[in-house]
Amino acid sequence: MIKKKSTLRYVLLWSGAILAVVGNVAFDTGHTNGEVGTIVGVIMAVIGCDMWVRDKNRAWGFSLWGLLAPIGYLAIMTLKDKSDTQSNSRM
């Protein structure tokens, strides 16, 4: 179960970031659907960051780092994990 959740998180993170960039480039070149791709990509990145932040038992506000994808991913990666699974594994 955890493996599927982790895979979905990474798919949302990276495909969202790529879709946002491609949508932005398409919008800049005059395509009318580029803005939709950008919005959907940003939403996917934020949802992926929300899943990542929840896995670390952090507040939902940290998921807004997804707006700065992929630089915001580094900030989430450096967050300390507050879940109980780490403390139980040391016992």
Residue with tokens 């506000």: 61
For the entire predicted model, the pTM comes to 0.75
Dihedral-angle region of residue 79 (phi above 0 means left; psi in -120 to 50 means alpha; beta otherwise)? beta
Residue 23 to residue 49: CA distance in whole angstroms: 20
Contact of 58 with 79, CB cutoff 8 Å:
yes
- Asked whether residue 1 is domain-assigned, the answer is no
- On average, the pLDDT of the chain sits at 82
The total of structural domains in the chain comes to 1
Q: Is 59 helix (H, G, I), strand (E, B) or coil?
A: coil
- Would you say residue 89 lies in a domain? no
Task: Kindly report, residue by residue over 54-71, the tens digit of the pLDDT.
Answer: 888 888 888 888 888 778
- List the domain range (segments joined by +) for residue 36: 8-82
